[in-house]
Amino acid sequence: MTKCHRRTIFRTVLLFLTVTLAAGLISSSNCANIYLTLNTTKSVYGIGEEASIWGNVTFSAGLGGGLIPDALVAIEVDNPQGIPVILRTKTTGQLPAASNITILSLTPSDQSGNPLYTFRRGTLSYFKASLSNTAASRYVQITLNIFDARNVAYESFITFAGLLYNGTTTLIISDPVPQDISPGNATAYLNVFTALPGVGGYALCPESSAVFSIIDGSSPPPISEEQPPLGFYNLTFHIDNYQTTRMFRPGNYSVFANCKYQTEVSNATGNFQIVLTGDINRDGIVDIFDAILLSGSYNAVLGGPRWNANADFNFDGIVDIYDAIILANNFGKKA
Amino acid sequence: MQWCNLIDEEGGVSLKRRLGALTLAEIILISTLLLVNQGGFLPPRVEAAPTTIQVTPTNSTGYLNETLYVNVTVTDVTNLFGWQFKLYFLNSILKCTSITSGPFLTSLGSTFDIFDIVNDFNSTHGRILAASTLMGGGNSANGTGVVAMLQFNASGLGLTPLSFESTKLTDNQSPPQTIPHTPIGGNAVVTEAPVQVIDVYTQRGGTGGNKSSDAFAPGETIFFNASLKYQGAPVPGIIVQFLTYDPHGTPTARTAVTGADGIASLNTTLPSNPLFGSYLTFASANTHGSDYNDTVDYKVGWIVNIIQVVTCNCTGFTQTQFPRGTLAYFNITLENLSFNNKQLFMLLGANDGFGATIAQECICFAIPYGQTSILFGFRIPPWTLPGVGQAFVGAYNNPPWNGGIAYCPGHYLPLSITGG
């Protein structure tokens, strides 16, 4: 690697760390030989915001401490009810060496498995997945996680749990398309875990994705996820609490990330909070009580005597007119 | 002694040498400590059963030119994460053909294995080197279990010791710690196979003495053959009695006469609703003044059968009511009676109380012999009308819309959907 390359990577990493300065390192618990970190860009997100989970995987100091560019990180985000809303596998830049289990294909389909790329809201969508296991049969959990055109997760569940036998296994999975999600290009992700990351499971292969179209209504612009530097992983999703799915309800969310690299396993856990923007007293509704609290903290600065962090909706360290406008725009909303 | 020499060749130290290395003072000290302990000066201890690595069965027998199976078992162990052994045998008696990891570690996760079979390790002995460790920092094994399964070809008559050397058991500490243990070898005896004068089998196997045939489904025809040979020559014109016992032990007798090839044949077609279970057919004949007999056993049933379907949550706990918009799971137990893998296309469908489809899922894989349990889930659409719907699980050899045929009757069960 040339000096120039190293400098570029260093700058990129520095930039990445800088833009996520507001984030808190959640926590990490690691084995002796590799080290997984887990961060979120913020510790509190409002409904309608973009959330990012990121981190890196490195060798331990004893092994040189270098970034591992081809690790798989299994990520689970649980909502306040303990229901997984995100189940994904991210790489730290490059695909790892071929594993015994691979997802050969994931294709949106009709109920017989014939390719079909367009579904209407309020109908059933289908996905045909083919998986290969070149080794002895082993227990797996196969999950499906679907994001709509605004990158809001509207589906996340274990579709199959059992032994994946040697050879090829084909699944056809049905899933209802909620009536109130955003139309446009949605993306389904199929993952294969030893168990859910929240109970210590790790990914057995890279995830597979399939793009399909949800029609019936106007589409928002497509979402693109920023590619992190090698050795890092990044997962970005939009937070919205659709009435039909109600997956992103306000409350405390748990994040689990597990990485198995060669024979080494490392995991990290943490949490973040989703709040109803404007809901200063956290009672699930933006109302006059919140307005009174905001007025009580009006013009208060970070660390000052009347400071109320819950009223600083834009996180600029002062409760001012911008926060009042945000409250006004959300007035009357319920969790 | 030949065996001591072998160990020394491997770089080990014989017990004799070890004892010889102790000084008189050390021996007196050890003896004193042992006496003190017996005298009750040390607190009494509850001794755990000693850990062993042993050949199982300790004494195995096989017939010449047939396969002989031997396991290596670790007993009464705590936190077993990896193991290693060398096993020596007389190569004039046995030839090792394969070694595979046993379920004791593989049931806990992936393992990294090193297997090396050298049948001509020296002029007299063959040697197996086997080592295996779990990968990752996960569970370790406790108790007793099979760590390796060995397969030999019985190539010569006689007895061979199966003797361990360099056995190692380790735990999952960092660094791994050795688990103290005792290696217990075994013996294998190879004898001449008994002369099989009569051999009964079906079109799906069972040749050889008292062997099993593959299974049969309702409506299928079973072709029985009984081959009668005396000193290798076919014996024609002999009456062979076939006595078939059904799963209740009720016998059915039939006879057939051997042809020029020495084979007596008959067939029977199973009814559409036969008694399911294990059948045993006993064939007997008298030739050259002696009675001879053989058996073949086989199962009758749906070749692939849906044993049980239970509605549950994602962790497998039974759940009978599902609010719309939530996940419903089916815990499905299947059984393949055939010795061979069968291509299975399993269809799971669900309708609401008004007949509208609320889910249709499929899984296609090669199901192996024995029972298989899978958990299959789907989301009940939020627009589903509450009420009692119906779920269906069917097992086919191919998708039914591509001409697939059902292996067995489908399972229908109620699906209670509540407002969510």
CATH number of the domain to which B65 belongs: 2.60.40.680
What is residue A295's predicted lDDT score, i.e. its pLDDT? 85
Q: Residue A7: pLDDT above 80?
A: no
Residue with tokens 């004791």: B104
Residues B150 and B55 placed together within one structural domain of the fold: yes
Q: Which domain-ending residue is among B160, B191, B222?
A: B191
The partner residue sitting opposite A32, judged by closest CB among B106, B174, B358, is: B174
d(CA A93, CA B403): 45
* pLDDT average, residue stretch A213-224: 71
According to the per-residue pLDDT averaged within each range, which of A291-295, B173-177, B192-196, B379-383 is highest? B379-383
What is residue B43's predicted lDDT score, i.e. its pLDDT? 42
d(CA A45, CA A53): 12
Q: Give how far B366 is from chain A: nearest CA, Å.
A: 7
Confidence of residue B378 (pLDDT cuts 50, 70, 90): very high
pLDDT tens by residue, B289-334: 999 999 999 999 999 999 999 999 988 899 999 999 999 999 999 9
Residues B202 and B186 placed together within one structural domain of the fold: no
Q: Residue B60: pLDDT above 60?
A: yes
The partner residue sitting opposite B314, judged by closest CB among A158, A170, A264, is: A158
Phi-psi region of A246 (alpha: psi -120 to 50; beta: other; left: phi over 0): left
Structure tokens at B6: 């072998």
What is residue A314's predicted lDDT score, i.e. its pLDDT? 80
Q: How many CB pairs under 8 A join A and B?
A: 102
Residues B153 and B220 placed together within one structural domain of the fold: no
- For chain A, the C-alpha Rg in angstroms (whole number) is 21
Q: Taking CB atoms and an 8 Å cutoff, what residues of chain A touch B404? A: none
The count of domains in chain B is 4
Phi-psi region of A284 (alpha: psi -120 to 50; beta: other; left: phi over 0): left
d(CA A329, CA B5): 90
The partner residue sitting opposite B364, judged by closest CB among A31, A32, A169, is: A169
Q: Give how far A32 is from chain B: nearest CA, Å.
A: 9
> Do B365 and A169 touch, CB atoms closer than 8 A?
yes
Cα B60 to chain centroid, rounded: 17
Residues B163 and B38 placed together within one structural domain of the fold: no
Please count the CA atoms within 13 angstroms of the CA of A224 that sit on its side-chain side: 3
* pLDDT average, residue stretch A15-37: 53
Axis-axis angle for helices A288-296, A321-330 (nearest 10): 180
Per the confidence metrics, is the pTM higher than 0.90? no
Q: What is the dihedral of CA A276, A280, A285, A291, to 10 degrees?
A: -130
Residue with tokens 């909706």: A313
Total residues found in chain B within this entry? 420
The partner residue sitting opposite B401, judged by closest CB among A112, A169, A174, is: A112
Which residues have C-beta within 8 Å of that of residue B2, sequence separation ≥ 6? B124
Q: Residue A21: pLDDT above 50?
A: no
- Residue-wise burial string across B205-230, b where 16 or more C-beta atoms lie within 10 A, e elsewhere: ebeebeebbbbbbbeeebebbbbbbb
| Nearest alpha carbon to residue A198 among A270, A107, A302 | A270
Confidence of residue A220 (pLDDT cuts 50, 70, 90): low
Residues B69 and B187 placed together within one structural domain of the fold: yes
Which residue out of A36, A173, A202, A265 would a mutagenesis test of the B interface target, given it has the greatest number of B Cβ atoms within 10 Å?
Answer: A173
d(CA A18, CA A241): 29
What is residue A29's predicted lDDT score, i.e. its pLDDT? 53
Q: Give how far B359 is from chain A: nearest CA, Å.
A: 6
List, edge to edge, every strand of the sheet that includes B290-300: B211-212, B290-300, B277-287, B239-245, B251-257
Lowest mean pLDDT among A315-324, B281-290, B394-403: A315-324
* pLDDT average, residue stretch A58-77: 92
Which residues have C-beta within 8 Å of that of residue B178, sequence separation ≥ 6? B168, B169, B170
How many CB atoms lie under 10 A from the CB of residue A243?
A: 9
Q: Give how far B105 is from chain A: nearest CA, Å.
A: 13
pLDDT tens by residue, B228-279: 999 889 999 999 999 999 999 999 999 999 999 999 999 999 999 999 999 9
* pLDDT average, residue stretch A234-256: 87
Q: Residue B362: closest CA among chain A residues belongs to which residue? A: A172
- pLDDT > 90 in chain A, percent: 52
What is residue B326's predicted lDDT score, i.e. its pLDDT? 93
CB contact under 8 A, A175 and B314: no
Q: Which residue has the higher pLDDT, A290 or B202?
A: B202
Structure tokens at B347: 């269809």
- pLDDT > 70 in chain A, percent: 87
> Do A191 and A88 touch, CB atoms closer than 8 A?
yes
Q: Give how far B137 is from chain A: nearest CA, Å.
A: 6
| Nearest alpha carbon to residue B184 among B23, B102, B73, B91 | B73
**A window 206-245, beta carbon within 8 A of B:** 244-245
Strands A118-120 and A84-91: unpaired
What is residue B175's predicted lDDT score, i.e. its pLDDT? 75
What is residue A235's predicted lDDT score, i.e. its pLDDT? 93
Residues B313 and B291 placed together within one structural domain of the fold: no
pLDDT tens by residue, A28-48: 555 568 999 999 998 888 888
Residues B53 and B174 placed together within one structural domain of the fold: yes
SS3 B9: helix
d(CA B328, CA B99): 42
Q: Which residue has the higher pLDDT, A276 or B296?
A: B296
The partner residue sitting opposite B136, judged by closest CB among A113, A137, A260, is: A260
Residues B143 and B271 placed together within one structural domain of the fold: no
d(CA A157, CA B377): 8
pLDDT tens by residue, A91-115: 999 999 888 999 999 999 999 999 9
Q: Residue B400: pLDDT above 50?
A: yes
What is residue B195's predicted lDDT score, i.e. its pLDDT? 73
Phi, psi of B5 (to 5 degrees): -60, -40
Q: What is the dihedral of CA B329, B333, B338, B341, to 10 degrees?
A: 30
d(CA A176, CA B309): 23
| Nearest alpha carbon to residue A165 among B301, B44, B364, B292 | B364
Q: Give how far B354 is from chain A: nearest CA, Å.
A: 16
Residues B183 and B100 placed together within one structural domain of the fold: yes
CB contact under 8 A, B368 and A137: yes
Across chain B, what does the average pLDDT equal?
A: 87
What is residue B281's predicted lDDT score, i.e. its pLDDT? 97
| DSSP secondary structure letters along B128-155 | EEEEEEE-SS---EEEEEEEEEEEEEE-
CB contact under 8 A, A158 and B112: no
d(CA A145, CA A125): 13
What is residue A262's predicted lDDT score, i.e. its pLDDT? 84
> Before B251, cis peptide (omega within 30)?
no
Task: Give the CATH fold of the A24-274 domain.
Answer: Coagulation Factor XIII; Chain A, domain 1 (2.70.50)
The partner residue sitting opposite A174, judged by closest CB among B110, B359, B368, is: B359
Write the ipTM: 0.76
CB contact under 8 A, A160 and B375: yes
Confidence of residue A286 (pLDDT cuts 50, 70, 90): confident
Query: In chain A, where are the structural domains located?
Result: 24-274, 288-330
Residues B296 and B220 placed together within one structural domain of the fold: yes
Q: Residue B417: pLDDT above 90?
A: yes
d(CA B294, CA B398): 38
Confidence of residue B357 (pLDDT cuts 50, 70, 90): very high
| Nearest alpha carbon to residue B326 among A119, A157, A243 | A157
SS3 A307: coil
pLDDT tens by residue, A145-201: 999 999 999 999 999 999 999 999 999 999 999 988 989 999 999 999 999 999 999
Q: Which domain-ending residue is among B300, B333, B358?
A: B300
pLDDT tens by residue, B115-145: 889 999 999 999 999 988 887 666 789 999 9
pLDDT tens by residue, B81-96: 899 999 999 999 999 9
* Secondary structure element (H or E) that encloses residue B6, with its range: helix B2-9
* Secondary structure element (H or E) that encloses residue A239, with its range: none
Q: Residue A18: pLDDT above 60?
A: no
Q: Residue A51: pLDDT above 70?
A: yes
Which residues have C-beta within 8 Å of that of residue B412, sequence separation ≥ 6? B390, B391, B392
Query: Exposure of B187 by Cβ count < 10 A (0-12 exposed, 13-18 middle, 19+ buried)?
Result: middle
Which residue out of B333, B347, B378 would a mutagenesis test of the A interface target, given it has the greatest number of A Cβ atoms within 10 Å?
Answer: B378
Q: Domain residues for B361? A: 304-418
Q: Residue A24: pLDDT above 60?
A: no
What is residue B37's predicted lDDT score, i.e. its pLDDT? 43
d(CA A160, CA A195): 11
> Do B200 and B225 touch, CB atoms closer than 8 A?
yes
Residues B30 and B52 placed together within one structural domain of the fold: no
Q: Taking CB atoms and an 8 Å cutoff, what residues of chain B touch A181? A: none
The partner residue sitting opposite B375, judged by closest CB among A162, A167, A176, is: A162
* pLDDT average, residue stretch B339-352: 94
Q: Taking CB atoms and an 8 Å cutoff, what residues of chain B touch A161? A: 314, 374-375, 377
Q: Residue B100: closest CA among chain A residues belongs to which residue? A: A136
Cα dist. B267→A172, B73, B242, B328, B334 in Å?
A: 42, 44, 11, 47, 29
Which residues have C-beta within 8 Å of that of residue B240, sequence separation ≥ 6? B198, B226, B228, B255, B256, B257, B258, B264, B283, B284, B285
d(CA B244, CA B296): 9
d(CA B395, CA B404): 9
Alpha-carbon dihedral sign for residues A62, A67, A72, A77: positive
Q: Taking CB atoms and an 8 Å cutoff, what residues of chain A touch B110? A: 138
Q: Residue B360: closest CA among chain A residues belongs to which residue? A: A174
Q: Which domain-ending residue is among B191, B215, B232?
A: B191
- pLDDT > 90 in chain B, percent: 73
Which residue out of A174, A175, A246 would a mutagenesis test of the B interface target, given it has the greatest number of B Cβ atoms within 10 Å?
Answer: A174
Which residues have C-beta within 8 Å of that of residue B269, sequence separation ≥ 6? B219, B220, B221, B222
What is residue B112's predicted lDDT score, i.e. its pLDDT? 78
Q: Residue B19: pLDDT above 80?
A: no
What is residue B196's predicted lDDT score, i.e. its pLDDT? 74
Q: Residue A224: pLDDT above 80?
A: no
Q: Residue A244: closest CA among chain B residues belongs to which residue? A: B382
Across chain A, what does the average pLDDT equal?
A: 85
Residues B162 and B60 placed together within one structural domain of the fold: yes
